[in-house]
Amino acid sequence: MQTYHLSQRGRAFAEDTDISLARASGKYRVTNRSHKDKDAREKVIEGTLDLPADVYNGMALTVAKNLSKGARETVHIVAFTPEPRIIELDVAPSGEHKMLVGQLTKTATRYTFHPSLGGWLKLFATLFGRLPADDHVWIATEDVPAFVRFEGPLDPTGPVWRIELTSPRWPD
């Protein structure tokens, strides 16, 4: 990752958020505005982080697409909660599923993206009911790897979403 920028706006999110992070300097900026209070002021958090070499914000799908069959990888991401935290993300295959592309049966590998919080952070997240959910991503693994489905929250406090292509079809 060289730079990272994320904007989340609209009723699907608890608040409007804009996040930017630069690899070279480690500088970040987070702006939030609540939807609950129409007169709420924008909150800004700025600072600098020492980033490990393997920060993959915005590129976790690319990591999964480039894994060898059966391989797993642990990388780092910066989680903005809203304060930034560097956490490990375990990307591991968790099953294969058949799908139909036209009349052809193909295979997709499901990957689980599991954030590892560490001892104290995991304890406090559990106590306050803020333990992040795993994300699940399906990658078509034949020929050229391709994204086909996602299940998980789009932000730490949001609902679980399912995003999938209109084709392939998933047999029951």
Question: Cα 22 to the chain's mean position, in Å?
Answer: 18
User: What does the pLDDT read at residue 154?
Assistant: 80
* pLDDT tens-place string over residues 53-106: 899 998 988 999 999 888 999 999 998 877 898 989 999 999 999 998 888 888
Q: How far apart are CA 38 and CA 165, in angstroms?
A: 36
Q: Cis omega (within 30 of 0) on the bond before 168?
A: yes
Strand partners of residue 169: 100
User: What does the pLDDT read at residue 81?
Assistant: 79
* pLDDT tens-place string over residues 41-65: 889 999 999 999 899 998 988 999 9
Q: How far apart are CA 147 and CA 90, in angstroms?
A: 18
Q: Looking at the whole model, is its pTM more than 0.85?
A: no
DSSP helix/strand/coil, 111: strand
What DSSP state is assigned to residue 163?
Answer: E
Would you kindly state where each structural domain of the chain is located, as residue ranges?
A: 51-164
Count of beta carbons in the 10 Å neighbourhood of residue 124: 12
DSSP helix/strand/coil, 62: helix
- Per-residue tokens: 145: 């790897």
Which residues, 6+ apart, have CB-to-CB distance to 107 below 8 Å? 96, 97, 98, 99, 140, 141, 142
User: What does the pLDDT read at residue 76?
Assistant: 93
